[in-house]
Amino acid sequence: MPEEAARARTAYAEVTDADVVSGIINTYRDEPGNLLPVMLDINRHFNWLPRPALEHISDELKIPLTEILRVASFYNAFSLTPRGKNIINVCLGTGCFVKGSPRLLERLERKLGIKHGETTEDMEFTLEVVRCIGCCALAPAIRVGEATYGRVNPDQVSKIIDSYIETASL
Amino acid sequence: MKIANLEQLKEIKARGLRLTYPDKIKVMVGMATCGISAGADKVYAALTQRIAELGLDVVLAKTGCIGFCQREPLVDVIYPKQVRLTYQAMTSETAVALVDALKEGRIYESQSLCRIDQEDFLVEGVVRPYANPHPPELPPEFPRYEDLPFFSKQVKISLRNCGFINPESIEEYIARGGYQALCKAVVEMTPEAVIDQVKASGLRGRGGAGFPTGLKWEFCRNAPGELKYVICNADEGDPGAFMDRGILEGDPHAVIEGMAIGAYAMGAKEGYVYCRAEYPLAIDHLKTAISQAEGLGLLGEKIFGSDFSFKLKIREGAGAFVCGEETALIASIEGRVGEPRPRPPFPAQSGLWGKPTTINNVKTWSHIAPIVARGADWYASFGSGNSKGTTVFSLVGKVNNSGLVEVPLGITLREMIYDLGGGIIGDRAIKAVQTGGPSGGCIPEEYLDTPVDYDSLAALGSIMGSGGMIVMDEKDCMVNVAKYFLDFTRDESCGKCTPCREGTLRLMEMLEAITEGRGQEGDIDRLIKMSELIKKTSLCGLGATAPNPVLTTIKYFRDEYEAHIRDHKCPAKVCKPLITFSILEDKCNGCQLCRLRCPVEAVVGTKKEPHQIIQEKCIKCGACFDGCKFDAVVVD
Ligand SMILES: Cc1cc2nc3c(=O)[nH]c(=O)nc-3n(C[C@H](O)[C@H](O)[C@H](O)COP(=O)(O)O)c2cc1C
Ligand code: FES
């Protein structure tokens, strides 16, 4: 998984990436209203929406690029800038909020030296906030990539991130 | 195989029963997102490994969330024809010990939560006891499921299968009566008769507004046009609510069957489930369920050998709260920016791609099969007045037992919080309970005896909403909570209409000033005036309800606003600019913990001497306060 993610993270340059985009577009080609599913898959694959991919969609699906960019900036899930290998989502839903998640966020911002919405220099981590991941009963919760952690305190959150740093340097 | 009639459904049911209740010991782990975040995946791995090591002949299975998230990871051991035992707060170590006990033929006694002696097959209206005739004698560490306060007042209709079946097995769903209602509807009932049942049941939408479901269906059925759509709203945007996730992860077929019945009743051939992307496991289970249902012919062409055909697709949301609003949701499925549009026309007249469309919430759909199977009168026997049936709440925040609970409408808030919820953490005083999410309000302690139903909550200035119930205690600042919600709605406002876009921003700015000690005399009146204006003039429900958190907190907690504005004090000691941390000299023994924990070196002092906080450096993160074991750190 790490290599795959690392590959996806590098800029949209290689020929194979255009193939990936074509593949995704083809999956949904005949679906009415297929723009969102296509964009979601591309966003998931690259961790963001590279401009050439959007141009590719525009050509293939005959949708004006301006419309695609409007959709891209409307929905929170999409990113128009490259994001890190590990996307950290700190839940700021009400359940987590009253259980102290703002402090988890502060702790992570200090630890990583970035504000939420930003990516570390080395492209390892992007810090984002999310409004509820459905683990409210185990608040406060965070998600790193696809892994969800419940009942996290500020000290633990630091350790969780360390474990990703260690895996990265293996 | 395609199921063409009831006989064939019963064959699958027999197979499902053998899977659900095998004739050897079955160990089952609650593996919904909540369970996994508590470590259920590690427990599952430990069980798998130990069972293999010992060569134990048991069935290991996964199930959804039974609702008691607080006690997760939960593991069940089902002893065939005897009893089911539920264990709580399991770890990899206790998992190994549990398997060891099974190997030795002992009952594992630690981590016990309860015993389950019988299960309700709700849609069939039968009770299936484990032991016949006598349940085994067990130590008192295993109280009965029905005797635990968390479960005793619950009536599980939406949640009927969650935590009881493997959600990835259609056979297990069918084992407990699944798809019988669809069969009955399609084979025995006219579409009109189905709608009549739903109308008579009194079911109202569980997604927020509480519109009568049967009536909505009738509008759609009567709308002219060959092509119609049904949609399941699984956007669950209310932060702090996770009922829809629980149902989709734990019992996806309940929603699919409900939608198929609805499609039959309304004459729709296609449907969509619009699920938020933040719920990957729910989407996964839903995909599996749809393909299984297609495999058995329960979705697709000529369902139960009739002329009725129904196709179901999934659409993922992309993280926009406003897309939970029905017209925005439709725009989003159509591949556009998810902006609401004025109604009328309502979706029942002109919805998805301009065709008549019915949108219902996950919980609403999950009630349909039981209503059709057991009849409207049965359903309406639960609940009260204008609020019939049951609904699911996510009970979270400062309660001891947090989780998903399904209760008959009309239960009081106090029962919810103190009986099911087990009271407030640390026996602190309750301050408020927040219902209805960003569209709802904060209800203070003096109204805890209010029945939970659509009308009573509305009378207090809140709403039922989709079922989020967040309990707050004396440590929560109500002005800060109002600011929190306004920050949310301001952020999520789509920007199409001015009152919502600009108004929520203004409210947010005023609240920000108040929490930073820059509030001015007259601010409260200005907040109220602005709120009323936004409510009256916004285009959609987002704006129209966004001021509710402000209005209710002003109504019930005006003194807190005044303390912030006049005295520059935050009574709950939350708002950072208004508080200071300091160390009590006589209590501090110089253990140094606070100094080491402080991220900005604001604590100074030598070992075994009282420490001090340098206020200019302090970022008020509270690390010293949390760390101090001698109550020497105080907040003012
Ligand atoms: C801003 C806004 C957000 C909404 N979010 C949701 C949601 O997340 N889930 C939901 O079921 N309904 C939501 N609704 C209500 C829907 O518009 C619609 O009324 C509901 O899905 C109808 O289903 P029901 O009749 O079963 O309740 C929202 C409404 C508004 C105005
Ligand atoms: S509020 Fe954080 S998971 Fe729901």
Instruction: Please provide the DSSP assignment of chain A as one string.
Output: -HHHHHHHHS-TTSHHHHHHHHHHHHHTTTSTT-HHHHHHHHHHHHSS--HHHHHHHHHHHT--HHHHHHHHHHSTT--SS---SEEEEEE-SHHHHHTTHHHHHHHHHHHHT--TT-B-TTSSEEEEEES--S-GGG-S-EEETTEEE-S--HHHHHHHHHHHHHHHH-
Residue B190: partners with Cβ closer than 8 Å, 6 or more residues away: none
Q: Which of B395, B39, B418 is nearest to A95 (CA)?
A: B395
CB B504 within 8 A of CB B496: no
Domain ranges of chain A: 2-74, 86-169
Q: Which is it for the CA torsion A93, A99, A105, A111, positive or negative?
A: negative
Residues of chain B with C-beta less than 8 angstroms from the C-beta of A33? 315, 333-336
- Residue B345: count other Cβ atoms within 10 Å of its Cβ: 14
In order along its 170 residues, chain A shows pLDDT tens digits of: 445 545 555 555 556 788 999 999 999 999 999 999 999 999 999 899 999 999 999 999 999 999 999 999 999 999 999 999 999 999 999 999 999 999 999 999 999 999 999 999 999 999 999 999 999 999 999 999 999 999 999 889 999 999 998 766 55
CB B492 within 8 A of CB B484: no
**SS3 at position B182:** helix
The token duo for A13 is 């340059």
Encoded amino acid at B166, one letter? N
Smallest Cβ–Cβ distance between B240 and the set A35, A95, A154 belongs to A95
Span B383-473: which CATH code? 3.10.20.600
CB B139 within 8 A of CB B109: yes
Encoded amino acid at A83, one letter? R
Protein residue with its CA nearest to atom 8 in ligand 1: B236
Q: Parallel, antiparallel, or unpaired for β A142-144 and A86-91?
A: antiparallel
Q: Does A167 touch chain B (CB under 8 A)?
A: no
Residue of A128, A135, A151, A157 to test ligand 2 pocket, by largest number of atoms within 8 Å of CB: A135
Q: How confident is the model at residue A111, as a pLDDT?
A: 93
Helical (H) or strand (E) element with B441? strand B441-444
Q: How confident is the model at residue B209, as a pLDDT?
A: 85
> Cα(B498)–Cα(B508) distance, rounded to whole angstroms?
15
Q: Which of B246, B219, B593, B189 is nearest to B368 (CA)?
A: B189
Span A86-169: which CATH code? 3.40.30.10
| DSSP conformation class of B59 | E
- CB contact under 8 Å between A98 and B238, yes or no, is no
* CATH architecture, range B478-567: Up-down Bundle (1.20)
- CB contact under 8 Å between A36 and B335, yes or no, is yes
- Map tokens 């010990």 to a residue: B97
Span B580-635: which CATH code? 3.30.70.20
Helical (H) or strand (E) element with B258? helix B252-266
Residues of chain B with C-beta less than 8 angstroms from the C-beta of A154? 623, 626
Encoded amino acid at B464, one letter? M
**SS3 at position B527:** helix
Helical residues (DSSP H) of B23-125, grouped into ranges:
33-38, 40-54, 92-103
Q: Does B403 touch chain A (CB under 8 A)?
A: yes
pLDDT, tens digit, for every residue of B400-430? 999 999 999 999 999 999 999 999 999 999 9
Residue ranges of chain B with per-residue pLDDT less than 50: none
> Cα(B181)–Cα(B193) distance, rounded to whole angstroms?
13
Span B6-152: which CATH code? 3.40.30.10
Average predicted confidence (pLDDT) for chain B: 96
Q: Does B33 touch chain A (CB under 8 A)?
A: yes
> Cα(B481)–Cα(B468) distance, rounded to whole angstroms?
15
Taking the centre of ligand 2 as the mean of its atom positions, its distance from the CA of residue B234, in whole angstroms, is: 16
Domain ranges of chain B: 6-152, 190-379, 383-473, 478-567, 580-635
CATH 3.40.640.10 fits B190-379, yes or no: no
CB A148 within 8 A of CB B338: no
